[in-house]
Amino acid sequence: MNIRPLLTDLQAILGPAHRRTLRIYLAWVITYGVLQGVAAALLVPALRALLSGDLPGAMTWVGVMAVVVAATCVAHYIQAMKGFAVAMVVLTTMHERIGDHLGALPVGWFTNEKVGRLSRIVTTGTVMVGGLFAHLLTPLVAGAATPATIALVTFLFDWRLAVAMLVSAPLLYAIFNWAGRLVGKGDQLSDAAAVTAANRVVEFARHQRTLRAFGRGAEGHRPLDEAITEQHRVGRRAMWLSVPGILAGGFATQLAFTVLIVVGVVLALGGSVDPVALIAVLALAARFTGPLAELSALSGAVRMAHNDVRRIAAVLEEEPLAEPMVPAALPCPGEIELSGVSFGYTPDQPVLRDVSFTVPPRTMTALVGASGSGKTTVTRLIARFWDAGAGTIRVGGADVRHQRTEGLMAQVAMVFQDVYLFDDTLEANIRVGRPTATDEEIREAGRLAGVDEIVARLPHGWTTRVGEGGAALSGGERQRVSIARAIVKDAPIVLLDEATAALDAENERYVREALRTLMTRSTLLVIAHRLQTVVAADQIVVLDNGVVAERGTHPELLAAGDRYAAFWQERNRAKGWRLTASG
């Protein structure tokens, strides 16, 4: 079986700085394998001398053998130490590089599927790498070097037997390779099924509330059941796939041994090999096929390990966001400008088409449009969760692609449509906005966003924990905490995606007040569902199906009597938007 691809991927994970460590280890394993082969080969002259009654000669050979065996032991020890060292280096660089790399990947990369796979890679991948060197690479490389050495040394004694050995090698190699490929294929199938099942379990757990609300909590969750059944089915299939390979590998090794014996006996009977030498060579044949049998058992494990290493390498190969070494200057702090922006999450489905608008510093723009028209997508592109397919997005006057992530994030505070809070205290959750903020600043931001009103109700006040994701709070309350975060961050630009689920009067009041505060010091781009927000905006951008349909102030757009006016009247009639103009 071919271990080159495995080594190439290992080198890719290690990076240029640590490749030497891997090479030194491999050199020692080869030395160990060759010495082991030489020690075995020395059996032939030793036995020959012994059986022909040459005792002093035999003693000399045994002495040489003892020296080689001692050297083998030393090499074995050194390669084990080197293997341990390289495993440690692989583990630490793997974690460091994955960590660094994830930080540089676009936020859009982190889909549920990817996250499920990632946790599997980082946990089981670690265990795999830990055992890879001692349990796999050493027996594998030595298991190839030893028989090769034996075959070469056999030439010194009898070329025909040596040829028989060398001929059997590629044959065995082909069979092991085939067996390994079957096992590797089974492993790939079962890995995919395991990832799907794991994702379904997470989904099942996370959506318990929804499922129960629809009376589906206790009885099975069909996608989960299906995924688990599929996993079992694939598991069985993977097992059956590996059986013929293992059988064939073992059989082929036995066959090679038998062929060597038959060749030897035929030669001896023909009188061209003396029987004494034959015994010695047969002993050698046993030492030749032994490591090969081990190789056959390992061929499947190599494929599996390679699959694991490949998955890690694949994460590292994901294209990170390109960032300049030196960030561009920001000529217009607080300004957002989209020009000719087109984008789709998948290439065949455009979500935004030729979107252009500017939000001047310290003004407020309201983004309105039907559900799915691409409003949230616009804010994601501004924060560079994804890169636009065409067009340019400038934040602070510079193309977002010419800025560094820290620089861009320092300019922008985001309040998401669905706010995720950390399972920590309210105070800590607000402090996420600016870790250096003083307690007073946190409280003041909390007051402005109406968090103090939540605090008054909670048993432990500011130090109440909010539960995983903020489960102890309502959607509107979570968004208020998130707005407090944005206030504390005091960024030049605030992107706010109003929660549709929190249209109660009280929440509305707090959000309005917080907006008023934010307006005095930041540029605001608000995805608005409330009339007051829209009316207060300096500019309204109407998105329709990914296209800017209209742009202007509220009176202008009403006067235009077009889409916005219709939209507005519709909402008005449905009482979805409140019309208490003064609030």
Ligand X SMILES: Nc1ncnc2c1ncn2[C@@H]1O[C@H](COP(=O)(O)OP(=O)(O)OP(=O)(O)O)[C@@H](O)[C@H]1O
Helices first, then strands: H and E counts in the chain: 20, 10
The two three-digit tokens of residue 51, written as one number: 């059986």
Contact 404, 324 (CB under 8 A): yes
Q: Shortest approach of Mg ion to residue 374 CB, angstroms?
A: 8
| Residue number closest to Mg ion, CB atom | 376
The site that binds Mg ion (CB under 5 A) totals a number of residues, namely: 2
Give the three-class secondary structure for 413: strand
Question: Residue 242 or residue 379: which is nearer to ligand X going by CB?
Answer: 379
The residue among 519, 431, 408, 418 whose CA lies nearest residue 469 is 418
Question: Residue 112 or residue 258: which is nearer to ligand X going by CB?
Answer: 112
For residue 464, CA distances in Å to 360, 415, 428, 459, 479 come to 39, 22, 10, 7, 17
Q: Is 147 in the site for ligand X (CB under 6 A)?
A: no
Q: Shortest approach of ligand X to residue 380 CB, angstroms?
A: 7
436 interacts with, out of ligand X, Mg ion, none, CB within 5 to 8 A per kind: none
**Which of 417, 425, 474, 517 lies at the binding interface for ligand X (CB under 6 A)?**
417
How far apart are the C-alpha atoms of 494 and 376, rounded to whole Å? 14
Sheet hosting strand 352-359, strand order edge to edge = 352-359, 336-343, 390-395, 398-399
Sheet hosting strand 539-544, strand order edge to edge = 412-415, 493-497, 523-527, 364-369, 539-544, 547-552
Binding region for Mg ion (CB under 5 A) out of 46-54, 142-150, 183-191, 368-376: 368-376
**Which of 375, 431, 443, 485 lies at the binding interface for ligand X (CB under 6 A)?**
375
Q: Is 149 in the site for Mg ion (CB under 5 A)?
A: no
Q: Shortest approach of ligand X to residue 377 CB, angstroms?
A: 3
Give the three-class secondary structure for 422: coil
The two three-digit tokens of residue 523, written as one number: 């540029």
For residue 562, CA distances in Å to 374, 534, 565 come to 20, 16, 5
- φ, ψ dihedrals at 417, nearest 5°: -65, -45
Q: Which residues pair with 201 in a beta bridge?
A: none
**Which of 45, 374, 407, 492 lies at the binding interface for ligand X (CB under 6 A)?**
374
From residue 298 to residue 337, the character string flagging contacts with ligand X as x (rule: CB under 6 A) and all else as - is: ----------------------------------------
Q: Shortest approach of Mg ion to residue 351 CB, angstroms?
A: 11
What residue type is assigned to position 121 of the chain?
A: I
372 interacts with, out of ligand X, Mg ion, none, CB within 5 to 8 A per kind: ligand X
How far apart are the C-alpha atoms of 95 and 312, rounded to whole Å? 10
Q: Is 479 in the site for Mg ion (CB under 5 A)?
A: no
Binding region for Mg ion (CB under 5 A) out of 99-107, 156-164, 236-244, 415-423: 415-423
371 interacts with, out of Mg ion, ligand X, none, CB within 5 to 8 A per kind: ligand X
Binding region for ligand X (CB under 6 A) out of 199-207, 295-303, 371-379, 530-538: 371-379
Question: Residue 41 or residue 494: which is nearer to ligand X going by CB?
Answer: 494
49 interacts with, out of Mg ion, ligand X, none, CB within 5 to 8 A per kind: none
Question: Residue 11 or residue 417: which is nearer to ligand X going by CB?
Answer: 417
**Which of 168, 299, 363, 377 lies at the binding interface for ligand X (CB under 6 A)?**
377
Q: Where are the beta strands (DSSP E) in 132-212?
A: none
Q: Shortest approach of ligand X to residue 527 CB, angstroms?
A: 7
Q: Is 372 in the site for ligand X (CB under 6 A)?
A: yes
Question: Residue 126 or residue 417: which is nearer to Mg ion going by CB?
Answer: 417
Q: Is 345 in the site for ligand X (CB under 6 A)?
A: yes
How far apart are the C-alpha atoms of 304 and 316, rounded to whole Å? 19
Chain positions 114 to 133 lying near ligand X, rule: CB under 6 A, are none
Measure the CA angle with vertex 548, ends 369 and 411; round to 5°: 85
Contact 523, 491 (CB under 8 A): no
Rounded to 10 deg, the angle between the 55-104 and 19-41 helix axes is 160
Q: Is 376 in the site for Mg ion (CB under 5 A)?
A: yes
Using CB under 5 A as the criterion, which residues of the chain lie in contact with Mg ion when the complex forms? 376, 417
**Which residue ranges make up the site for ligand X (CB under 6 A)?**
345, 351, 369, 371-377, 417
